[in-house]
Amino acid sequence: MTESKTPNFHIRDLPIYGDAILAPMDGYSDWPFRSICRELGSAMSYTEFIKVEKILSKSKQPAKRMYFNEPERPITFQIYGEDPELILQAALKIQENNPDVIDLNMGCPAKTIADRGAGVGMMPSPLRIARTFRKLVKHLRVPVTGKIRLGWDRNKNYKLIARIVEEEGGSLIAVHGRTKEQRYAGNADWDAIAEVKSLVKIPVIGSGDVKTVADIDRLKAHANVDAVMIGRGAIPNPWIFSRLDREQVPPELVKETIRKHLARSVEFYGDEDGSRLFRKNAVQYVMMNHLTRDERKEILKSRPSAEFLELLEKIYDSPMLQTTL
């Protein structure tokens, strides 16, 4: 997708071209999928989030999650944790891998993360967030950003947190329009996202319930945000970053993307793991609800990548599936 010659906004002095961005998603925004979305028009890349304790340990996971290639830039490394000092140490360490931005996840609602004070579990502690951003901004050379939710049902303090991020030197804030308890249920509150945009001068990215190209424009118009972040809506339709709704995507483009994604998954994880991990994307690409029961069983079986690709091609070319596209 051709990028505009005029930046849509800046993260500090970093120009961002485009208004739709793939959201960081654990288990999905790995290098194979992320790089494809970037090529299709996502304005920048976010890694899957990385636990700060793993960064500071001998775990191999952070290096895998931080992998990127130059065409992906601008690249944001997203981290999460609850201790301001550990977050700083981890950020200083990963900064040596030359990201363009480091982002603090304050929005993950997963119980195992939030209940220990990380992710959206940070939001009830505004002073801790202030200390964390103060440390990060003071000691890092790259811009520091944050991603939040609206808070908890009992304490929707998103406006306070947005002000803190800005006052402590944060360069951007992304807002998902739901609370911790909502997770991904109900409707995202676009009015709340608009409130954040009206309160701060740093760029604001809006997130929640963006499933179509029209939704991108609606959220931008409703909340006046600088860009829109797309998560679950992009999994079956990465072509949304090329401004195509799923039913507008030509079959040959779907097949080309399937082949490219599988090849990158195998390159990145190896044949066995790459084929296995790709299955969750494959079932989205070919729309499982349009498959027969036997086809669903077959597509979920473990098999070498060459056999898997042959199966997908056969299923995708079936007359029944073609009539639904």
Exposure string (b/e) for 135-163, b if CB count within 10 Å is 16 or more?
A: bbeeebebbbbbbbbbbbeeebbbbebbb
DSSP, collapsed to helix, strand or coil, labels residue 146 as strand
Hey, which residues are catalytic here?
Answer: 108
Q: What angle do CA 292, 296, 302 make, to 5 degrees?
A: 150
Distance of CA 35 to CAs 66, 131, 246, 293, Å? 12, 34, 19, 32
Contact 29, 46 (CB under 8 A): yes
Distance of alpha carbon 66 from alpha carbon 9, whole angstroms: 24
Task: Return the closest-CA partner of residue 312 out of 262, 244, 243, 242.
Answer: 262
Q: Give the whole-angstrom CA distance, residue 173 versus residue 159.
A: 11
Under 8 Å between Cβ of 21 and 172: no
Query: CA 211, CA 231: separation in Å to the nearest integer?
Result: 9
> What six digits make up the tokens of 278?
């790709």
